Amino acid sequence: MKAVVLTMLCGCVLLVDAPASSEEAPSVDCKDAQTQSDMNICAAQDYEAADKALNRQWLATKKAATAWDDVVAGEGRARGAEERLLKAQRAWLAYRDSQCETLGFTVEGGSIQPLVVSNCLADLTRKRTEELGQLAKEFAD
């Protein structure tokens, strides 16, 4: 019985001491980041913003591909734009993540590694966002 009570008390202490999952990253002035830690935080925030833009563009491009499929189906041709777009996006995500992980290994163990990986993710994500935007225009024409 004592073991059960002790276990419950330890569990409660752990819950009280654990940080809330909704805690935000420390506030950093990314225009004047001085420490490696601050630069890492800013790079992660940059990637997060690029990823949000990618997700918005993804939805618009997917919508354009679906509309394209509707047009070609109405003409008696085979659908497939949306399916191929999804296949390409999944392959691109795997490429992006692996490419940036590989680049991170060039500075493995260094405090700059998160910065290098986040910058790579942000750069490739912005490029893909542009590609998806162009593709959406192609579907619209």
Residue 103 neighbours by CB under 8 Å, 6+ apart: 116, 117, 120
User: pTM, whole model, 2 decimals?
Assistant: 0.79
CATH number of 34-140: 1.20.1270.180
Torsion (CA) 89, 90, 91, 94 in degrees, nearest 10 = 120
Residue 107: closest CA among 60, 39, 59: 39
Q: Across the chain, what does the average pLDDT equal?
A: 88
Residue 17, pLDDT > 90, answer no
Digit-coded pLDDT (tens) for 27-51: 889 999 999 999 999 999 999 999 9
Q: Where are the domains of the chain?
A: 34-140
d(CA 93, CA 111): 25
Digit-coded pLDDT (tens) for 111-127: 999 999 999 999 999 99
pLDDT of res. 25: 58
Digit-coded pLDDT (tens) for 86-98: 999 999 999 999 9
